[in-house]
């Protein structure tokens, strides 16, 4: 709706004389349920529709004032420099959309774009605010429900994972106690049973360490990193594991970008994915291929293996905690990898590799200017 309005507003500016387009633009804005303001080339308000009037004050008081004087809560936004944004648009920069702008008790999607005349000169700017508070709250409620389900799965997983070593400990203690009264019991048997019990306690200890990793929510310690450099280090360190499993890793770097990454967490995430690929490849052809590329809106990492692959019906569960098809696996490696990638604003998907095996694709976002949240930008027509 917002972009359609901006399209028609620009048509009015191009087709009508300057003395008339503000009147028709106001009529167009009044027909919309979103909040709309427009300025002349100097940044003074010439359009202020009824929806804007309901939330931002009287139209007559807004007309003729600088846009940010009429909208002080935008001027005081701590997350972005709106004065610079307005100057850029009035200077001919492309329109910009800010996906989430907190305004008091509301959240809006804000779009600002230049209005151009026949000669492409900028005659003013249009600002449209679309209230997305309800959708944001619904999203928060969805996340809470997902978190509650995750806690339920985690509790069930803990009960299952802890019960196994405890059962083994209990069994070995019972057998040892029964044998203590036997004068023929040897030191070797005692040592064997105590070694088994120590191994089970170590298993519980490792489980607790994994649980602490899952629950830790430290802030990301971002630095300027190249993903190809991060991956090159991982590949070098995993050559020993590859040789032990009789596998081969081929790495084809293709990214020139520098990204804002927490090096430790991203290394852990990609290490888990490469390790998973090697373990799968060991059950198949023994090959792992890693490639990177720079797409327009993200840097992409692709990790292929020629192992047995993952059935389509199982792909939705590979990132569920404690879900594993590997003997001795914890079911935490891939969930932790996904958690670290998502916290960077990225995405990960599981596909079938052409020719057989599995393909994991990681999309890492390009860092926005001045560290702001990712924003959409679109070219002016």
> Residue 335: what pLDDT?
82
Q: Taking Cα atoms as reference points, which of 141, 76, 67, 121 lies closest to residue 102?
A: 76
> Residue 303: what pLDDT?
96
Phi, psi dihedrals of residue 178, rounded to the nearest 5°:
-60, -30
- CATH-assigned architecture of domain 2-131: 2-Layer Sandwich (3.30)
What is the chain's length?
Answer: 381
Q: Taking Cα atoms as reference points, which of 326, 313, 321, 316 lies closest to residue 278?
A: 326
Which pTM value belongs to this model? 0.48
pLDDT tens sequence for the chain (381 residues): 444 444 445 444 443 444 444 555 555 556 567 888 888 889 999 888 888 888 888 989 999 999 999 998 888 887 788 999 999 999 988 888 887 777 767 788 888 888 776 667 887 888 888 888 776 556 656 665 666 666 666 565 566 556 667 777 788 788 777 777 777 777 888 888 788 888 778 777 766 765 666 556 667 889 999 999 999 999 999 998 899 999 999 999 999 999 999 998 899 899 989 999 999 999 999 999 999 999 888 899 999 999 999 888 888 778 776 555 554 444 567 888 888 898 898 989 999 898 999 999 999 988 643 333 333 433 333
> Residue 381: what pLDDT?
31
CATH for 222-369 (3.30.565.10, 3.40.30.160, 3.90.420.10, 3.40.50.1980): 3.30.565.10
Q: Do residues 350 and 318 lie in contact, with contact meaning Cβ atoms separated by under 8 Å? A: yes
Topology of domain 137-215 in CATH is Helix Hairpins (1.10.287)
Torsion, Cα 291 370 133 109, to 10 degrees, reads -90
Q: Taking Cα atoms as reference points, which of 37, 121, 50, 32 lies closest to residue 82?
A: 37
Q: Taking Cα atoms as reference points, which of 308, 313, 230 lies closest to residue 267?
A: 230
Q: What CA–CA distance (Å, rounded) separates 372 from 252?
A: 31
Which ranges in the chain are annotated with CATH 3.30.565.10?
A: 222-369
* DSSP secondary structure letter of residue 40: E
> Residue 332: what pLDDT?
66
- The whole-angstrom distance between residue 161's C-alpha and the CA centroid of its chain comes to 29
Which ranges in the chain are annotated with CATH 3.30.450.20?
A: 2-131
> Residue 209: what pLDDT?
67
Mark 230-241 as b/e (b = at least 16 C-beta within 10 Å).
Answer: bbeebbeebeee
Angle at the Cα of 93 from the Cα atoms of 92 and 98, rounded to 5 degrees = 135
Q: Taking Cα atoms as reference points, which of 371, 367, 358, 366 lies closest to residue 315?
A: 358
Phi, psi dihedrals of residue 148, rounded to the nearest 5°:
-65, -40
Q: What CA–CA distance (Å, rounded) separates 66 from 295?
A: 39
* DSSP secondary structure letter of residue 66: B
> Residue 353: what pLDDT?
92
């Amino acid at each position: 709706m917002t972009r359609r309005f901006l399209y028609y507003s620009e048509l009015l500016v191009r087709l009508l004389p300057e003395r008339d387009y503000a009147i028709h633009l106001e009529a167009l804005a009044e027909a919309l349920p979103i909040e709309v303001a427009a300025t002349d080339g100097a940044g003074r308000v010439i359009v202020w529709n009824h929806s804007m009037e309901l939330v931002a004050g009287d139209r007559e008081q807004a007309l003729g004032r600088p846009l940010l004087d009429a909208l002080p809560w935008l001027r005081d936004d701590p997350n972005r420099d709106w004065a610079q944004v307005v100057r850029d648009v009035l200077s001919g920069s492309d329109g910009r959309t800010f996906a989430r702008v907190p305004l008091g008790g509301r959240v809006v999607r804000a779009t600002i774009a230049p209005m151009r005349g026949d000669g492409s000169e900028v005659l003013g700017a249009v600002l449209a605010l679309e209230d997305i508070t309800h959708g944001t709250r619904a999203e928060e409620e969805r996340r809470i429900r997902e978190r509650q389900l995750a806690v339920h799965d985690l509790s069930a997983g803990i009960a299952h994972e802890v019960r196994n070593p405890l059962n083994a400990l209990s069994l070995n203690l019972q057998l040892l106690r029964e044998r203590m009264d036997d004068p023929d019991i040897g030191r070797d048997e005692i040592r064997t049973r105590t070694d088994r019990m120590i191994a089970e306690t170590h298993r519980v200890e490792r489980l607790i360490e994994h649980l602490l990793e899952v629950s830790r929510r430290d802030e990301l310690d971002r630095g300027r990193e190249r993903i190809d450099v991060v991956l090159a280090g991982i590949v070098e360190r995993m050559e020993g594991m590859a040789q032990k499993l009789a596998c081969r890793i081929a790495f084809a770097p293709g990214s020139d970008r520098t990204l804002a990454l927490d090096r430790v967490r991203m290394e852990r995430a990609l290490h888990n994915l490469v390790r998973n690929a090697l373990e799968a490849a060991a059950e198949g052809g023994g090959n792992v291929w890693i490639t990177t590329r720079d797409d327009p809106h993200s840097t992409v990492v692709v990790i292929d293996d020629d192992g047995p692959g993952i059935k389509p019906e199982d792909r939705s569960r590979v990132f569920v905690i404690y879900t594993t098809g590997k003997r001795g696996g914890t079911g935490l490696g891939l969930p932790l990898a996904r958690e670290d990638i998502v916290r960077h604003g990225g995405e990960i998907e599981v596909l079938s590799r052409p020719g057989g095996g599995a393909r994991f694709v990681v999309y890492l976002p390009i860092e926005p200017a001045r560290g702001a949240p990712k924003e959409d930008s679109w070219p002016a027509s």
